[in-house]
């Protein structure tokens, strides 16, 4: 017996959200999407029962990418889903699974079941050290005394809540994917990043914010109430550009918006004609960012897991941790292997003249080089995996085009012919687009963004929002012209 026969009884019985039997009206899709988003925002404000004070976020600045909320039911965010996808894509890319998800319905069921099983395993592997290792989620002694179960019992209670939140967000994502608009992972990222971005613009300390947003800060500067010193002096310009004024952060945020929207519009269009409807023509666009920026979640999640491992080792080994492996100060790596593997997150981490880092210029240059290499190569590799595992490759796309009754004018009506044409563009564009997104993410992180949402988070938000807009426009078009759903096989 192979692994598929052994695991089939378990994988085929994994709980799942029922697929709609027919076409779901657009208004109903919006209702499901809005309902899940409201539930998401609600759960990110429900804190763990039994949580004490002094907790620290293991994800740190990766939180905007992995969504969720520190110390809440959704402590894990989309981390287990993304980590499970990384493992599954690596196994699929190495052809170790032996699953034909394109043509075999049984293998499709096994693949989906294996994906859910990996997510559940990752919920345990990620949540367990968060609760039981170090002081990241400390237990409240008063709750332990009230319940009479001790601190260890409270920790187990918190772990069950964290695990339940990880499983819940898995099914929330599945609900949106099957009954809503877009993907749950993408919408959760948009929700988290947009919340931070809006807070970075308009937050006011009087209403509970830790620091004022960009607009209140500039109002304070113009009224002369901000302690910036002479604005034209070197220290004053530094405050305006990189400090309270956030001019560079605002410029970078707007630039990323423009670049991503422009890159989404750059495409190679392959002409198509419909064999069923005479005179009906269309185009298949191969975009510059063909694999979208979603593979970048996988790259950043891999970095987040590496840093997560470093902080766990630091919590367990303490001062006994080898210096070559990692030197920590205030919970952040300042030397060793984990320092060089940590991505650049703010301008102060590489602009040594600002006085916010103790690293030397050679150390900073080495760290930037490692981060850039990791993002460019990782972005290209995961983009290739993403295209192949989501049926966006030349072979799968050719089958889809042929199945919808479309063909390339001047060529025989054969899926192999369409695949040959697509192979001229898709593999090359996939690699170039993945590498380009990696460069943009590093650039945005180095220059800073409004609300400290991280460059990758901003890239993801803009790109996912743009694709969501396209999907909504397509859904509205299909609602207005139901015959188009039958023509293009949307039902």
Q: Is 143 in the same domain as 282?
A: no
Per-residue pLDDT tens for 3-33?
777 888 888 888 888 888 877 888 888 899 9
Please provide the average confidence, as pLDDT, over all residues in the chain.
Answer: 82
Q: Is 318 left (phi over 0), alpha (psi -120 to 50) or beta?
A: left
CA separation for the pair 368, 442 (Å, rounded): 9
pLDDT at 229: 63
CA separation for the pair 157, 162 (Å, rounded): 9
**CATH number for 136:** 1.10.3370.10
Q: Is 175 in the same domain as 258?
A: no
Is the CB of residue 346 less than 8 Å from the CB of residue 449?
no
Q: Is 329 in the same domain as 477?
A: yes
Q: Is 404 in the same domain as 258?
A: yes
Which residue is listed with tokens 């593997």? 341
Q: Would you say how long the chain is, in residues?
A: 491
Kindly state the tokens that stand for 199. 């807070």
In a domain, 225, yes or no: no
Angle between helices 247-265 and 234-242 (to 10 degrees): 40
First to last CA, the chain: 37
258 is in which domain, residue-wise? 249-491
Supply the pTM of this predicted model. Answer: 0.77
Per-residue pLDDT tens for 269-314?
888 877 666 666 778 888 888 877 777 878 888 888 888 888 888 8
Residue at which a domain ends, from 180, 200, 231: 180
* Higher-scoring residue by pLDDT: 270, 236: 270
Q: Is 172 in the same domain as 259?
A: no
Residue at which a domain ends, from 120, 155, 180: 180
The Cα-based distances of 75 to 67, 159, 224 in angstroms read: 9, 10, 41
Q: Average pLDDT in the 97-108 region?
A: 74
Strand partners, 333: 328
- Least confident span in 64-68, 248-252, 350-354, 447-451: 64-68
In a domain, 76, yes or no: yes
In a domain, 228, yes or no: no
pLDDT at 276: 64
The Cα-based distances of 216 to 197, 205, 221, 308, 448 in angstroms read: 14, 10, 9, 35, 19
Range picked from 86-90, 168-172, 342-346 for highest mean pLDDT: 168-172
pLDDT at 304: 82
In a domain, 222, yes or no: no
pLDDT at 121: 92
Q: Average pLDDT in the 147-156 region?
A: 89
pLDDT at 377: 92
pLDDT tops 80 at residue 170:
yes
pLDDT at 198: 85
**β-strand pairing of 281-287 with 327-329:** unpaired
In a domain, 367, yes or no: yes
Confidence of residue 476 (pLDDT cuts 50, 70, 90): confident
Kindly state the tokens that stand for 200. 């970075």
Q: Average pLDDT in the 121-129 region?
A: 90
Per-residue pLDDT tens for 173-193?
999 988 888 888 888 888 888
Which residue is listed with tokens 């943009």? 440
pLDDT at 175: 92
pLDDT tops 90 at residue 35:
yes
In a domain, 296, yes or no: yes
Q: Is 175 in the same domain as 255?
A: no
pLDDT at 56: 65
Per-residue pLDDT tens for 370-400?
999 999 998 898 888 888 777 788 888 888 8
Q: Is 41 in the same domain as 140?
A: yes
pLDDT at 163: 94
pLDDT at 134: 67
In a domain, 340, yes or no: yes
pLDDT at 365: 92
Domains held by the chain: number: 2
Q: Average pLDDT in the 410-437 region?
A: 86
In a domain, 18, yes or no: no
DSSP H helices in 266-317: 295-317
Per-residue pLDDT tens for 320-355?
888 888 888 877 888 889 999 988 888 888 888 777
The Cα-based distances of 250 to 20, 217, 306, 430, 437 in angstroms read: 43, 13, 30, 30, 20
Per DSSP, the three-state class of 334 is strand
Residue at which a domain ends, from 180, 212, 237: 180
Is the CB of residue 454 less than 8 Å from the CB of residue 345?
yes
């Amino acid at each position: 017996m192979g692994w598929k026969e052994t695991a089939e009884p378990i994988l085929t019985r994994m709980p799942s959200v029922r697929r709609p039997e027919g076409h779901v009206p657009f208004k109903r899709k919006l209702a499901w999407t809005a309902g899940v988003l409201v539930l998401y925002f609600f759960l990110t404000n429900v804190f763990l029962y039994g949580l004490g004070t002094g907790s620290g976020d293991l994800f740190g600045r990766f939180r905007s990418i992995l969504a969720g909320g520190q110390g809440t039911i959704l402590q894990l965010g989309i981390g287990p889903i993304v980590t499970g996808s990384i493992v599954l894509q690596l196994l699929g890319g190495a052809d170790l699974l032996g699953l034909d998800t394109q043509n075999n319905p049984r293998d499709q069921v096994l693949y989906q079941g294996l994906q859910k099983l990996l997510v559940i395993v990752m919920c345990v592997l990620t949540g367990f050290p968060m609760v039981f290792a170090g002081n990241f989620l400390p237990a409240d002694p008063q709750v332990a005394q009230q319940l009479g179960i001790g601190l260890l019992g409270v920790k187990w209670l918190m772990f069950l809540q964290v695990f339940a939140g990880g499983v819940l967000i898995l099914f929330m994502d599945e609900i949106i994917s099957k009954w809503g608009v877009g993907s749950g992972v993408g919408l959760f990222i948009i929700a988290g990043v947009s919340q931070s971005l809006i807070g970075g613009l308009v937050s006011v300390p009087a209403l509970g914010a830790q620091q004022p947003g960009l607009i209140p800060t500039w109002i304070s500067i113009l009224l002369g109430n901000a302690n910036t010193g002479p604005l034209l002096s070197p220290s004053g310009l530094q405050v305006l550009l990189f400090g309270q004024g956030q001019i560079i952060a605002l410029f970078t945020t707007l630039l990323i918006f423009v670049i991503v929207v422009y890159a989404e519009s750059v495409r190679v269009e392959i002409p198509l004609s419909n064999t069923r409807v005479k005179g009906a023509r269309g185009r298949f666009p191969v975009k510059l960012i063909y694999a979208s920026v979603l593979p970048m979640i996988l790259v950043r999640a891999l970095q987040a897991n590496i840093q997560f491992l470093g902080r766990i080792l630091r919590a367990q080994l303490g001062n006994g941790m080898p210096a070559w492996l990692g030197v920590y100060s205030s919970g952040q790596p300042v030397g060793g292997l984990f320092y060089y593997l940590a991505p650049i997150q703010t301008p102060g981490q590489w602009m040594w003249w600002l006085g916010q880092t103790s690293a030397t210029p050679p150390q900073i240059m080495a760290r930037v080089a490692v981060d850039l290499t990791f993002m460019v190569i990782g972005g290209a590799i995961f983009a290739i995996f993403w295209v192949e595992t989501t049926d966006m490759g030349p072979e799968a796309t050719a089958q889809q085009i042929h199945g919808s009754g479309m063909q390339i004018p001047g060529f025989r009506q054969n899926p192999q012919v369409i695949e040959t044409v697509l192979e001229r563009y898709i593999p090359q564009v996939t690699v170039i687009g993945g590498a380009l997104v990696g460069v943009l993410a590093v650039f945005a992180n180095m220059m800073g963004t409004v609300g400290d949402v991280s460059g990758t988070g901003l890239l993801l938000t803009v790109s996912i929002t743009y694709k969501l807009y396209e999907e909504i426009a397509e859904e509205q078009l299909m609602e207005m012209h139901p015959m188009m759903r039958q023509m293009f096989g949307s039902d």
